[in-house]
Chains A and B, each alone.
Chain A
Amino acid sequence: MQNTTSIQKIDTNTDFEVRSLDTMCTNDSSLQHPWWYNLKYVMAGIIFGIILIKAEVISWFRIQEMFHLQSFHMYGVIGSAVITGALGVFIIKKMHLKTIHGEPIFFIQKKFSKGQIYGGIIFGLGWAMTGACPGPLYALIGSGITVILVVLFSATVGTWVYGAIREKLPH
């Protein structure tokens, strides 16, 4: 029963073009879970938020140091994060691990688009100005720097404007 509904769900999702450009936005689970199954992601988020603060990557000054080549800190954090993440992905692929709910884990191949160049540079400009990428924005607000809500709101507006004019942009 559950299988037929999931197949229907996939069939009715014809929005492949929009989906393919947003590589971060994929939900491939065919299992229907009650909402509180999402609480485990709250826990993961709390852990990530604590790590972001302790890693000091939420510091505007650390970001300036990185872009002035005045400290190895940020390069060390990002570099060792990538190595660890790659090791984790390698192990999951090699051992064909499944999720804790027994679903298979699969990986989406990202497609190249010019957006990664233009959008990447635009994001980089904003990153050095605000001293924060989206993850640290949330952590900074939580840490009590409430004015960052303005930055987050502005980023949401930026996302919306992209959605409004993306047909006119080179991809």
Chain B
Amino acid sequence: MLHWLQQPWPWYVSGPLIGLMVPLLLLLGNKAFGISSSLRHICAACLPAKLPFFHYNWKAERWNLFFVGGVMAGGFIAALFLTNGKPIAINPALLQHLNQYQIQEGNSFVPTTIFSWQGLLTLRGFIMMVLGGFLVGFGTRYAGGCTSGHAINGLSNLQLPSFIATICFMIGGFIMANFILPFILQL
């Protein structure tokens, strides 16, 4: 059992399990699956600063903060006990493509030359983490949800706005990965 858990799960196992989070949260307490609103609750709790967008009863939404706290704990448990230590089977063509930007390793979840505390002090690392993070937080709230809220939850409920949002997530991602990131990675 543990041995099986430590193997990488194929998409047709992990995908449906992710999808089951939608009915699970509905059955637990009529909650709409979504992660990015936790960032809004953090703002509302820490620095509402007279902005109407952050003046609401965030305590009524605290389930979401418990949920993301659990996600963090789950990441800890899985990384510590449920991995087999082998690198993720990335397409070799991608790794070869990344080689030209001095990104050799594929055995971590992230390229550690960029996503590390030392990498934060490099120009490309700073841009990708600080600016990238800003765009994630700004964009998800502007769009009213992220991959979980729109792409998984919204599409599960056949919501057209979520379909539009998901298409735009992909458009933004394709533009960045193919046309902008090559320049950032060269820095």
Contact surface of A with B, Cβ cutoff 8 Å: 13, 15, 18-19, 21-29, 35, 37-68, 70-74, 76-89, 91-92, 97, 99-101, 103-113, 115-135, 137-148, 150-164, 166, 169
Contact = CB atoms under 8 A, between A and B. Distances in A.
A130 B133 contact: yes
Contact of B67 (A44, A60, A68, A107): A44
B118 to A, nearest CB: 9
B32 A121 contact: no
Interface of B: 5, 8-9, 11-12, 14-43, 47, 49, 51-57, 60-64, 66-79, 82-83, 88, 90-91, 93-95, 97-98, 106, 108-111, 115-117, 119-120, 127-162, 164-178, 180-181, 184
**Max chain B Cβ within 10 angstroms of own Cβ: one of A37, A64, A103:** A64
A50 B177 contact: no
A12 to B, nearest CB: 10
Given A21-B144, A110-B161, A124-B139, A85 B156 contact: yes
13 contacts: A24-B145, A27-B60, A29-B29, A59-B90, A78-B152, A83-B16, A86-B19, A120-B166, A120-B171, A152-B133, A154-B136, A156-B39, A159-B141
Contacts, number: 541
A92 B31 CA distance: 13
Contact of A48 (B74, B79, B161, B184): B74
B66 A38 contact: yes
A150 B172 contact: no
A15 B39 CA distance: 19
A88 B153 CA distance: 11
B17 A51 contact: yes
A23 B149 contact: yes
B75 A101 contact: no
Given A24-B32, A110-B162, A138-B68, A124 B19 contact: no
A117 to B, nearest CB: 5
A143 to B, nearest CB: 4
Nearest to B124: A129
B93 A70 contact: yes
A60 B115 contact: yes
